[in-house]
Amino acid sequence: MPDYGPYRRPQDIHFNDIPWKSIKKFVPPFLIIAFVIITGYTAFYTVKANEEAVILRFGQYIETVGPGLHTKVPYGIDKVLKGEVKRIYNEEFGFRTRQNTLSSMIDYEYSDAKEERLMLTGDLNCAEVHWVIRYKIKALEEYFFNVRNVQETIRGVSQAVMRTLIGDRSIDEVLTIGRTEIEQKSREDLQRILDSYNCGIDIQTVLLKGVDPPPPVKDAFNAVNQAIQIRDRIINDAEGQKNKILPAAEGKKQQVIKESEGYRIRRVNEATGDVKAFLAVYEEYKKAEDVTRRRLFLETMSKVIPKCEKLYIIDKDLKGFLPILGLNAEDVGK
């Protein structure tokens, strides 16, 4: 094998055989190119449309920037931490949604499921509560630096708030009419506590996915709920009957009251008129007693005589005339 050309073995090449003078002329351009590449790679960064980024310089927070192309101090002096501030994050309690390539599946039997969902109500009953929290990042610098583990903080605070609200209400409220109030109040309380921690989190919604009695007593609860529904239906029917009957009775009552009032007014007016007539006659009587007495007698007789079947006019001084007419005391009385 020759001792020159491409066929020389590496062990046959000596250090002095390397053409250093030829290589040295390529070193400066190579270093310049490497410097430019490294500088450009470490000095420029891009923030996506749904993201924000915080800048750290020697580990200290400098600023928060929005989407777009930005520059920073290169060579690792400035560090960039990005976060999706427009994304809606979910935290599930009492269940887990398992995703696969074709569909999703809800898992109620993961390791901490029972501890999360089993709660005690205010009337010392048990309820299994499943709920979801949806939140966004509203202050990225607070989210990264003020709390060690934001996710665990949200989960711990949410469970404490939910247990407090469930413990303040009866099982009937939790299962039926109180769910909307619990959702609203839990969101307000959770937001207030997280704001006190400066977590940089904005709670969008708290949604109760399900509130159920524990399986051992579920049948009994269903029977009670069915009885309550029957009771409510009977009460509603009775209320309907009451609402139908009471207005009619009220109308009848008002009619009777108005008729009685009219009768009273009429009788009072009649009595007042009679009194006025009597007083007028009495005044005339006092002016001429004999004349008035005779007039009253004649007026009375004019009313009585037409009603008599038989009429006998007898002189008061005539004696023994009644037997002749065949009258007795009873007939005279008539």
The tens place of each residue's pLDDT in the chain, 334 residues long, gives 455 445 555 555 555 555 656 666 666 777 777 777 877 778 899 999 999 999 999 989 999 999 999 999 888 899 999 999 999 999 999 888 877 766 677 776 766 777 888 999 998 888 999 999 999 999 999 999 999 999 999 999 999 999 999 999 998 889 888 899 999 999 999 999 999 999 999 999 999 998 888 878 778 878 887 888 899 999 999 998 888 888 888 888 888 998 899 898 988 888 888 888 888 877 777 777 777 778 778 888 888 878 777 776 766 666 655 555 555 545 544 4
**Two structure tokens written together for 258:** 């108005």
Q: In a 3-state reduction of DSSP, which class is residue 49?
A: coil
**β 201-212/126-137 pair status:** antiparallel
Count Cβ atoms below 10 Å from residue 215 Cβ, excluding itself.
8
DSSP state of 3: S
Q: How far apart are CA 149 and CA 160, in angstroms?
A: 17
**Two structure tokens written together for 275:** 């009194």
Contact 68, 47 (CB under 8 A): yes
To which H or E segment does residue 53 belong?
strand 51-57
**Two structure tokens written together for 120:** 């005690």
Rounded to two decimals, what is the model's pTM? 0.60
Q: In a 3-state reduction of DSSP, which class is residue 334?
A: coil
